[in-house]
Amino acid sequence: MQSDVVLRVVSKFLIPFILLFAFYVQFHGDFSPGGGFQAGVILAAGIILYALVFGVAASFRIVPMRATQIGAAIGVMIYGGTGVVSLLRGARYLDYNALAHDPVHGQHLGIFMVELGVGIGVASTMLWLFYSFTSHKLRRDGQS
């Protein structure tokens, strides 16, 4: 895929900041607007921008299709697993009070894990959706 020089230089400059912003939104979501959903979407958008400018083949080398599928499953499992941990510690499912010695710390830990699960899950799924469409196009164009 050939794209404009300006586009390539600007996006090369921007993409690290987009990814960094995604992590900021993820881990600062307790104190400011943001959280797992937004961070996941921004992370996916950064990689999609890379794919659009440098070609899908280049982005497949960095984040393969397989990784997005595994990531989507891991995200859901982190979320569900947090609930199972609180079950094992004798509380109800997804009751974070039992995760640490002190309920407020338990809540902090629980929210952190859950938001992490949501972030990984959403980022991977959004990228997976984009990859599904683009790889379908690649396969179809390759056949005709």
Q: State the Cα–Cα distance between residues 11 and 74, nearest whole angstrom.
A: 29
Q: How far is the CB of 36 from other proteins (least distance, A)?
A: 8
Do residues 124 and 68 lie in contact, with contact meaning Cβ atoms separated by under 8 Å? yes
| Of the candidate residues 11, 35, 59, 99, the single one contacting other proteins (CB under 8 A) | 35
Q: State the Cα–Cα distance between residues 56 and 52, nearest whole angstrom.
A: 7
Q: How far is the CB of 95 from other proteins (least distance, A)?
A: 9
Residue 99 interacts with other proteins (CB under 8 A): yes or no: no
HEC string of 77-136 equals HHHHHHHHHHHHCCCCCCCHHHHCCCHHHHHHHHHHHHHHHHHHHHHHHHHHHHHHHHHH
Q: How far is the CB of 65 from other proteins (least distance, A)?
A: 9
The binding site for other proteins (CB under 8 A) comprises: 25, 29-35, 37-38, 41-42, 44-45, 48, 52, 69, 72-73, 75-76, 79-80, 83, 93-94, 96, 103-104, 107-108, 110-111, 114-115, 117-118, 121-122, 124-126, 128-130, 132-137, 139-140, 143
